Amino acid sequence: MTETLIHALVEMQEPEALEQARQMLKQGIDPMKILESCSRAMEIVGKRFEKGEYFLPHLMMAGEMLQQISEMIKPLVKDAKTSEASGRVLIGTVKGDIHDIGKNIVRFLLEANGFEVRDIGIDQPPENFVNAIREFDPQVVGMSGLLTLAFDSMKETIQAIDAAGLRQKVRIMIGGGQITQNVKEYTGADAFGSDALAGVRLTKEWIGGR
């Protein structure tokens, strides 16, 4: 069933994708597995975009499908054990990259796990991250990027945070379909998340979890 959902999302078959997600939930499939399937599908969509096979309208449609599936899942994974935020996380997609699907999954999961999240959006230059850190005072900063050109932007953003004297105040994680250990070392980030759930695990480890 997961492969059917991935195929429908990748091929922009909105009615089929939404119905498949509903059926999976009715059959008691773990909502996290559904989100993992969405994440895998969006990586494929992102690669097609980078190759010039898909265009901005495809990204927008994929994002809309993801939003609708997230709304189905949210009531099932919302953590009601805490009424106060466990910590603050700043996230955004770095300059030159307009992908927000993976970022949105991470934000959704972080919020569901009780974290206060500020999402500064896509195509954000280094100074916007710096200003947001000063204003929001997060413990964790997450940088998203799906395109290879995002690697340099991540590095420049982390350098800007360091130059502003804020590097020691935050832990920085990066994520995206093409992020590897080598990219983590190149950018100077503290860690990278191989998927959205890894981003949540890192945040819990760094902030202290529950």
Q: Give the residue extent of every domain in the chain.
A: 2-77, 88-207
pLDDT band at 82 (very low <50, low <70, confident <90, very high): very low
* pLDDT (0 to 100) of residue 9: 95
Longest dimension (CA), the chain: 52
What pLDDT, on the 0 to 100 scale, is given for residue 84? 53
Report pLDDT digits (tens) over 155-197.
999 999 999 999 999 999 999 878 999 999 999 999 998 887 7
pTM as predicted? 0.73
Q: Give the CB-side neighbour count of residue 172, counting CA atoms within 13 A.
A: 26
Q: Tell me the Cα Rg of the chain.
A: 17
Q: Is residue 172 within 8 Å of 202, Cβ to Cβ?
A: no
Please state which CATH number belongs to domain 2-77: 1.10.1240.10
* CATH level 3 topology of 88-207: Rossmann fold (3.40.50)
